[in-house]
A and B are shown apart, each in its own frame.
Chain A
Amino acid sequence: MDITTIVFWFLSALALFSAIMVITRKNPIFSVLWLIIVFFAISGHYLLLNAQFLAVVNIIVYAGAIMVLFLFVLMMMNLENLPVVNKNIWMKFLGVISGGLLLCILVSTSKSAADMNLKTIIMKEGNIGLIENLGKVLFTKYALPFEISSILFLSAMVGAVVIGKKES
């Protein structure tokens, strides 16, 4: 086992464990903190795949900015006085079944897909994820989606003002 494999398995285990911790914590603040660890683990994976730009963006935007937003939302609500919701046991049961079915399908798909066999992930090499190549593709082939995404940003800005600003 070389060092890449060890790092890969370590990061995968860390990501899965933290993800489970996110959804099992009672206190949402802890969930958010575990989620940050998930993001870091995923960023590690991006690094292994040689997608450094994605790794950095993932940390800056997700672990940095969006997590702060999550915490803000949690702080806006009065968590102390939240009524305890008694979830129906059958609902939980059904949730487990439907989620498990999706898991089964995804696992069996990726196991049985012939185009997945005999293929390994390109680790440490390949230069698709490098910022230079990403930029070239983004500003030539995907220029139109890039421009159109600014409309999405504008509507988000308008929305933030409409929802968040006091009406007076």
Chain B
Amino acid sequence: MPILQLLSDIPVTGSTTDYAPIALQLFFAIGFIATMLIASGLIGPKRKTADKLENFASGIPSHGDARQPIAIKYFLVAILFVLFDVEVIFFYPYAVNFKGLGWTGFVEVILFTSFFIIGFIYIIKRGALNWEE
């Protein structure tokens, strides 16, 4: 498929070729970044002294290790995020079929969502999102 044709308005056919422009865009984006990084590495001036190679820590001498174990509270938020993220995914196929499914589909989704809202209220009330110091 010639590139010019890709750039013109193509009617959506529901097949994977619809995604060719996105692939093209991705290709150019990655290509551009890679070229820039490699080029600046090749062309740019290099002065390697001991001070230059040290990790930058706002001017003060660096100390300790950056690899400290993080607290579990971050993880708790992250895992709750994933659960609600997955829930949102289910809305997408529903939104596309919103009219076709009618009231039955609506009741189903309301039931599903109410379970999640119950869970959400529980999480809030139980203080799972409170930031412990």
Contacts and interface: CB of A to CB of B under 8 A. Distances in A.
Contact, chains A and B (beta carbon distance below 8 A): yes
Interface of A: 47-48, 50, 52-53, 57, 60-61, 64-66, 68-69, 72-73, 75-80, 124-125, 127, 130-132, 134-136, 138-140, 143, 146-147, 150-151, 153-154, 156-158, 160-161, 164-166
B84 to A, nearest CB: 9
Interface string B26-70: 000000000000000000000000000000000000000101011
B78 A165 contact: no
Interface residues of B, number: 49
A47 B111 CA distance: 32
A131 B96 contact: yes
Given A60-B85, A153-B116, A76 B72 contact: yes
Interface of B: 14-17, 19, 65, 67, 69-76, 78-83, 85-87, 89-90, 92-94, 96-97, 100-101, 104-105, 108-109, 111-112, 115-116, 118-119, 122-123, 126-128, 132
Given A76-B70, A124-B17, A157 B83 contact: yes
Which 5 A-B pairs rank lowest in CB-CB distance, beginning with the nearest?
A135-B93, A150-B115, A164-B76, A135-B97, A157-B119
Contacts of A164: 72-73, 75-76, 79, 128
22 contacts: A47-B16, A52-B16, A61-B82, A65-B82, A69-B78, A69-B82, A72-B70, A73-B75, A77-B69, A80-B67, A127-B14, A135-B94, A135-B101, A138-B90, A139-B101, A146-B90, A147-B112, A153-B115, A153-B119, A157-B83, A157-B122, A160-B80
Given A65-B85, A76-B69, A131-B93, 15 more contacts: A50-B15, A65-B78, A75-B69, A77-B69, A135-B96, A138-B90, A139-B105, A139-B109, A147-B112, A151-B115, A154-B115, A157-B83, A161-B128, A164-B76, A164-B128
A130 B14 CA distance: 7
A111 to B, nearest CB: 28
A50 B16 contact: yes
B45 to A, nearest CB: 31
Contact of A124 (B15, B72, B96, B128): B15
A164 B80 CA distance: 11
